[in-house]
Structure 1
């Protein structure tokens, strides 16, 4: 069973974020309509991508990334491996999901990362939202607090925005892993709406001509 672990200090920090954006720790906080992407269709696909993992969702990652991983030793954060297939980063640790069909107002995934208490610093996972220009519009760092005896422990981490301006979301960290990506269904861009409207007008015009003929 996937455990949801979160430090009280991080919750307090999230509560102080600007009203237009929020780091969320529950998939239910991603406003609907939503879509969920798992990685059961992949079985150990290695590479940095791009790979379409669901309609309108394109994966890219570091050179050691794997889609459909089925086990990972996360050191002091325990083991992942009994939860089905998931996405895993290499040592460089980046998993990015780009929404090719439009912009989203919220996205997140169940994540964890490698940890080692012997290090003089704490390792963390960084979740970032990117805008249509490819620049970061929100970024937050989070340390998952599991133990070496835990199995499939982690935390849902996501970003919600007041407007649909997220082109992609990424999870970065040493040995980062992610599963069950949830996102608000992307909003078609203005250009797409214009094409749809033009198509409807054209269909209507043809219908009128046929009736007149």
Structure 2
């Protein structure tokens, strides 16, 4: 399976933090909240729809939550054994977060053929709904593959992502993952202090 990057950082490239990155590993997201769309049953909606705690979906007309089947051209077929989110033939799936996050992504694929081989744009938006990072890419899976794809996400040096979108040709995605906030050093200090007080109280009772 090959992930071909066509263009990177379409917006504000020069202003990106040094640690901003496109990732293919969900382990790069800290303690992620995951939305798997299994609670839906072919629900055609453009949203808004809360798909996980603090995660709201919106999409273009033709978007579907809990989709069962998707023909992806030369990228095979999706729909064996699990439900997923799907855009219209050319559309967007966007997820907005109640709390700013430093990373988000999903297991994705898209429709591809000789005419439309480059089918996916993943973008992160800041608190003002402006694009802070964007990548155009293509996922290349087997013509006869089933449920094949690639985890694709964006990580940032600080928690400044308000929403993430997946836009392109018949985009399909599952297991959307959103990083939870990393505890600040002050939080750890308070936690340790609290544990110390509990330990002292326990010793006094003995």
Partners of 1:6 and 1:162 lie apart in 2 by 27
TM-score by length of 1: 0.77
1:63 aligns with 2:58: no
Aligned counterpart, 2:202: none
TM-score by length of 2: 0.80
| Pair 1:83–1:18, CA change in 2 (3 A) | farther
Alpha-carbon shift at residue 18 of structure 1 (Å): 6.0
* Higher normalized strand content (fraction of residues): 2
Question: Secondary structure of the residue that 1:167 maps to in structure 2?
Answer: strand
**Number of matched residues?**
176
Partners of 2:158 and 2:78 lie apart in 1 by 34
- Long gaps (5+) in structure 1: 188-213
Partners of 1:108 and 1:183 lie apart in 2 by 7
Aligned mate of 1:36, from 31, 34, 37:
34
Equivalent residues in 2 for 1:56-135, closer than 5 Å? 56-100=54-98, 102-117=99-114, 119=115, 122-135=117-130
Question: Secondary structure of the residue that 2:40 maps to in structure 1?
Answer: coil
- Long gaps (5+) in structure 2: 10-15, 183-206
Aligned mate of 1:157, from 133, 152, 160:
152
Aligned counterpart, 2:21: 22
Shift >3 Å, 4+ stretches = none
